[in-house]
């Protein structure tokens, strides 16, 4: 049978039929879903030249009823499906979809099976690009099939290749149109398969944030589906309304359409409340007009919008919980607006405290930080840091409440955060002191009680390498047990990024000497020229049984002499401290103390230009730590004897060298 196409004063070629092959394929997939299909497969084969030989799109929908053929295929720009039951399709194709094959093919052939009462029938429809004005179809025959469905086969394909029909190309194109549809109908096992591989809507939809909610308002049941997109979408963030037959009855932008946090979302509402209604919303002059005449219906719609808003707000809160950490990290690493803190334990505690509070503020209201200028953001964070570091930290809550209206629950949660971070700082401080004192007591045992079994290389040095804070929190460990030349190379590399300075060093015999510990950093020591000095420290360690004599002191002075002879280390803006540490000092060293006591520096035995040499006992090192931490220790009522006993219990089964080895392992593990 030949069916003429009713053009209705518009030519097919100028009707706006898509020329995009991906959009054309989507049209045929939509046709299947509009026919109540749950599974649509897209299959194709290639010819010898890697072009597409044949393309087949198959669905398990209702098929095309032969008796209605003239109303569907015969009526161009008038689709019965679109007029009667728009299946969750926001834009009708107006009957043009079946002509979309002309974008990539010359011929299209439909084989369809439909149910006529209780009988299954099938027939074939043929169309060609050179005779678009007529449709050739066979007479329906009784079918052996027991399921309805339609298969459309495209041949004489002239533009499709293996490259533009790859799964990595088709899947994103289909997901752009159908991800939300597949997600909403996942319980009905709706799927699209491309050459045997199912496309995955989770690549486009954040299923962890998306949610379905059922609410009852004045006797009407509403199914609300919030869909959260993984990427930004070109459309406005809209709420779509469907009746119980999935016919679209209207849409409106959500109240979060212009949100500044990239929470990309759409809302789909389905309810019998929208049955028998032509239109529920209309846009006039950019305003959304409620088309309900009944005040009761308008009130129901208002309550519905309130429920939708609550659902979106709940999910935005979850979304911001993740984004808040990213935003604060950007303040630290990218924009550099976060306050700088010392690299010691106390400094890091304060930094973590400010991070946690800033994250919570961002969760409460990200707009506080939105579009702030660099100096404004830096000032705000600096102000927060000052409050948190003072006795006024509770006032942070009062200030935030003047900017953002907090619910009772939000206020309670934020108050707990302020108290929690304060308590965490106290706990961290206690643990910090405990860990440091364990190392002190451990070293005391090695130096004083196990003197004859301990040496510098296997014990003392290994411990100091991991706990160089004993000589100053402000220094970074640059190298350990390296020859002088390598140590200086490492020093230069850390501060300036230089890799090899061998050629610039003089060939001194001291190159073969070894530095036990080499600590360096640029410490902010102001000068009269309002600049800073680079303060460095070199430490010479000896076995506990070796006293600090003139010979040991001469060794550390040799290090100093070597550094002074290197022109690249002689700047007036560099300061060097060379320290020798032993259990005891001899009379010569004590005489040197006297010679430099007018400098007011404990342990100083020599000074020249920008270099200082110190001779310290282990007791000097331990006592310095105790003096610095005395206020904290007194407040915490710290029991040092208990710490020492705890350590001894751990190594009670060992003796001599084994005990020293065991204590060293404990110290290394504690770092």
Across 148-152, 322-326, 394-398, 592-596, least confident range: 394-398
**What pLDDT shows up at residue 236?**
73
**What pLDDT shows up at residue 426?**
57
Residue of 240, 264, 280, 273 lying closest to 88 (CA atoms) = 240
CA distance 155 to 197: 22
**What pLDDT shows up at residue 407?**
65
| pLDDT tens profile 531-567 | 677 778 888 888 888 899 998 888 888 888 888 888 8
| pLDDT tens profile 514-528 | 666 666 655 555 555
**What pLDDT shows up at residue 38?**
95
**What pLDDT shows up at residue 237?**
83
CA distance 462 to 465: 5
**What pLDDT shows up at residue 473?**
64
The three-class DSSP label of residue 134 is strand
Angle at 72 between CA 67 and CA 77, to 5 degrees: 160
pLDDT (mean) for 68-80: 57
pLDDT (mean) for 470-495: 64
**What pLDDT shows up at residue 47?**
87
What angle do helix axes 395-403 and 408-444 make, rounded to 10 degrees? 140
Residue of 518, 585, 507, 583 lying closest to 551 (CA atoms) = 585
**What pLDDT shows up at residue 12?**
42
Strand partners, 353: none
pLDDT (mean) for 171-181: 91
Q: 447: pLDDT confidence band, cut at 50, 70 and 90? A: confident
CA distance 668 to 657: 17
| pLDDT tens profile 187-226 | 989 999 999 999 999 999 999 999 999 999 999 999 999 9
- Does the pTM surpass 0.95? The reply is no
Say how many CA atoms lie within 13 Å of 342 toward its Cβ. 10
What phi and psi values does residue 386 have, to the nearest 5 degrees?
-65, -40
**Average pLDDT of the residues of the chain:** 78
| pLDDT tens profile 388-439 | 776 666 667 666 666 556 667 666 766 666 665 555 555 566 667 777 788 8
What angle do helix axes 408-444 and 640-650 make, rounded to 10 degrees? 70
Across 219-223, 365-369, 463-467, least confident range: 365-369
| pLDDT tens profile 626-644 | 887 776 666 555 566 666 6
| pLDDT tens profile 494-513 | 665 665 555 555 555 555 55
pLDDT (mean) for 122-144: 84
The three-class DSSP label of residue 302 is helix
Q: Tell me which of 648 and 230 has the higher pLDDT.
A: 230
The three-class DSSP label of residue 383 is helix
| pLDDT tens profile 290-346 | 556 688 888 998 899 999 988 988 888 788 777 888 889 999 999 899 998 877 666
Q: What does the H/E/C string look like for 627-665?
A: HHCHHHHHHHCCCHHHHHHHHHHHCCCCCHHHHHHHHHH
**What pLDDT shows up at residue 67?**
87
| pLDDT tens profile 178-192 | 999 999 999 989 999
pLDDT (mean) for 105-126: 92
pLDDT (mean) for 582-609: 91
**What pLDDT shows up at residue 171?**
94
Contacts of residue 186, defined as CB under 8 A and 6 or more positions apart, other chains included, come to 201
**What pLDDT shows up at residue 80?**
39
Torsion angle of C-alpha atoms 374, 380, 383, 387, degrees rounded to 10: -140
CA distance 590 to 337: 50
For residue 98, is pLDDT > 70? no
Percent share of the chain, pLDDT over 70: 69
For residue 137, is pLDDT > 50? yes
DSSP string, 176-235: HHHHHHHHHTGGGT-EEEETTEE--GGGTB-TTT-EEEEEEETTEEEEEEEEEBSS--SS
CA distance 109 to 522: 78
| pLDDT tens profile 239-278 | 889 888 888 888 888 876 555 567 889 999 999 998 877 6
For residue 368, is pLDDT > 90? no
Q: Tell me which of 138 and 569 has the higher pLDDT.
A: 138
**What pLDDT shows up at residue 148?**
96
**What pLDDT shows up at residue 460?**
86
**What pLDDT shows up at residue 76?**
41
**What pLDDT shows up at residue 40?**
96
């Amino acid at each position: 049978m030949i069916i003429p196409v009713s053009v209705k004063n518009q030519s097919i070629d100028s009707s706006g039929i898509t020329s995009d092959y991906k959009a054309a394929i989507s049209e045929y997939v939509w046709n299947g879903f509009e026919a109540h299909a749950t599974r649509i497969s897209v299959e194709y084969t290639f010819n010898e030249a890697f072009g597409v030989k044949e393309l087949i799109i198959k669905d398990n929908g209702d098929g095309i009823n032969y008796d209605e053929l003239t109303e569907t295929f015969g009526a161009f720009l008038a689709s019965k499906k679109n007029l009667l039951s728009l299946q969750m399709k926001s834009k009708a194709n107006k009957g043009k979809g079946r002509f979309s094959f002309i974008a990539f093919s010359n011929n299209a052939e439909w084989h369809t099976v439909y149910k006529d009462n209780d009988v299954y029938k099938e027939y074939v429809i043929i169309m060609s690009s050179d005779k678009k004005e007529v449709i050739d179809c066979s007479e329906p025959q009784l079918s052996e099939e027991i399921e309805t469905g339609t298969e459309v086969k495209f041949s004489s394909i002239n533009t499709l290749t293996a490259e533009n029909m790859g799964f990595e190309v088709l899947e994103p194109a289909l997901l752009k149109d159908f991800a939300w549809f597949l997600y909403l109908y996942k319980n009905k096992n709706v799927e699209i398969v491309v050459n045997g591989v199912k496309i995955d809507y989770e690549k486009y939809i954040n299923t962890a944030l998306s949610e379905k909610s059922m609410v009852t308002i004045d006797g009407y049941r509403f199914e609300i589906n919030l869909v959260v997109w993984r990427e930004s979408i070109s459309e406005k963030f809209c709420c779509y309304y469907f009746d119980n037959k999935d016919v679209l009855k209207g849409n409106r932008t959500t109240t979060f359409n212009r949100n500044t946090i990239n929470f990309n979302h759409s809302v789909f509402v389905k309810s019998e409340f929208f049955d028998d209604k032509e239109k529920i919303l209309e846009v006039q002059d950019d305003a959304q007009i409620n088309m309900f005449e009944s005040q009761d219906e308008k009130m129901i719609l208002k309550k519905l919008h309130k429920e939708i808003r609550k659902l979106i707000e709940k999910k935005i809160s979850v979304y911001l919980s993740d984004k808040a950490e990213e935003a604060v990290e950007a303040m630290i690493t990218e924009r550099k607006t976060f306050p700088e803190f010392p690299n010691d334990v106390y400094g890091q505690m304060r930094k973590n405290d400010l991070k946690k509070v800033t994250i919570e503020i961002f969760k409460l209201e990200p707009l506080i930080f939105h579009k702030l200028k660099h100096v404004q953001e830096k000032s705000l964070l600096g102000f927060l840091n000052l409050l948190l570091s003072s006795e006024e930290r509770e006032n942070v809550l009062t200030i935030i409440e003047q900017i953002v209206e907090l619910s009772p629950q939000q206020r309670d949660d934020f108050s707990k955060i302020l108290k929690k971070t304060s308590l965490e700082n106290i706990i961290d401080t206690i643990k910090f002191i405990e860990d440091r004192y364990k190392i002190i007591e451990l070293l005391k045992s090695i130096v004083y009680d196990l003197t004859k079994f301990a040496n510098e290389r296997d014990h003392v040095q290994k411990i100091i390498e991991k706990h160089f804070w004993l000589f100053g929190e402000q220094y970074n460990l640059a190298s350990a047990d390296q020859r002088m030349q390598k140590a200086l190379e490492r020093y230069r590399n850390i501060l300036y990024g230089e890799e090899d300075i061998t050629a610039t060093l003089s060939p001194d015999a001291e190159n073969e000497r070894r530095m036990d510990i080499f600590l360096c950093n640029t410490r902010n020591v102001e000068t009269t020229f309002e600049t800073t000095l680079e303060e460095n420290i070199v430490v010479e360690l000896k076995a506990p049984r070796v006293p600090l004599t003139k010979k040991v002191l001469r060794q550390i002075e040799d290090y100093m002499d070597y550094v002074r002879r290197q022109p690249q280390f002689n700047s007036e803006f560099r300061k060097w401290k060379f320290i020798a540490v032993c259990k005891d000092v001899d009379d010569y060293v004590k005489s040197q103390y006297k010679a430099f006591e007018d400098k007011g520096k404990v342990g100083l035995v020599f000074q020249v230009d920008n270099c200082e040499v110190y001779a310290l006992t282990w007791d000097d090192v331990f006592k310095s730590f105790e003096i610095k931490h005395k206020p904290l220790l007194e407040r915490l009522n710290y029991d040092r004897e208990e710490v020492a006993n705890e350590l001894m219990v751990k190594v009670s089964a060992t003796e001599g060298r084994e005990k020293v080895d065991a204590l060293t392992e404990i110290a290394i593990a504690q770092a």
